[in-house]
């Protein structure tokens, strides 16, 4: 239940900020950071609780820190790299995977669906990380 509240509040926060035109540079940095902390903590807990493969979680964690580092470097140069569409797809797939895995703790069918989405998440994690690196190199070479 807490997961659902967290995921919905994240969605509503972004939706309302855009709708009311309350988007700020600090929000562009802090909102994805809050998402990362939320998601990473859940995936790490699942390594122990549900025996999720640690290497899948390590890929997610590495990408999250790497992209956060890139964005922080650019922010230090007064260049804000907002969340990219591939990153939003990655975040969505993370939330779907987590939702199915949480429900799957009581139901093997949902656990298996959650694992499929976890693999999709790893793929979108890698592709979005590459996209951020491309945007980063373009930004620093301009």
Q: What is the 3-state secondary structure (H, E, C) of the chain?
A: CHHHHHHHHHHHHHHHHHHCCCCCHHHHHHHHHHHHHHHHHHHHHHHHHCCCCHHHHHHHHHHHHHHHHHHHHHHHCCCCCCCCHHHHHHHHHHHHHHHHHHHHCCCHHHHHHHHHHHHHHHHHHHHHHHHHHHHHHHHHHC
Q: Which residue has the tokens 């620093």?
A: 140
Alpha carbon distance 140, 50 (integer Å) = 41
Q: Which residue has the tokens 């959650």?
A: 114
Question: CA nearest 64: which of 41, 45, 80, 48?
Answer: 41
Alpha carbon distance 11, 78 (integer Å) = 27
Question: pLDDT in tens for each of the 142 residues of the chain?
Answer: 566 666 666 666 666 667 777 667 677 667 777 778 888 999 999 999 988 999 999 999 999 889 888 888 887 888 777 778 888 898 889 989 999 999 998 899 999 999 999 999 999 999 999 998 888 888 778 7
Count Cβ atoms within 10 A of the Cβ of residue 9 and give its class: 0-12 exposed, 13-18 middle, 19 or more buried. exposed
Task: Answer yes or no: are the C-beta atoms of 44 and 57 closer than 8 Å.
Answer: yes
Q: Identify the pLDDT of residue 86.
A: 87
Four-residue CA torsion sign, 134, 86, 27, 82: positive
């Amino acid at each position: 239940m807490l997961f659902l509240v967290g995921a919905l509040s994240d969605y509503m926060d972004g939706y309302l900020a855009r709708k009311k035109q309350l988007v700020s540079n600090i929000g562009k940095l802090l909102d994805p950071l809050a998402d990362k902390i939320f998601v990473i903590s859940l995936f790490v807990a699942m390594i122990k609780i549900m025996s999720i493969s640690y290497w899948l979680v390590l890929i997610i964690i590495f990408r999250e820190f790497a992209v956060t580092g890139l964005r922080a470097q650019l922010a230090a140069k007064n260049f804000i790299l907002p969340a990219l569409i591939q990153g939003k797809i990655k975040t969505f797939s993370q939330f779907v995977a987590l939702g199915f895995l949480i429900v799957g703790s009581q139901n093997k069918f949902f656990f298996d669906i959650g694992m499929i989405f976890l693999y999709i998440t790893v793929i979108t994690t890698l592709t979005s990380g590459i996209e951020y690196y491309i945007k980063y190199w373009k930004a620093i070479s301009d």
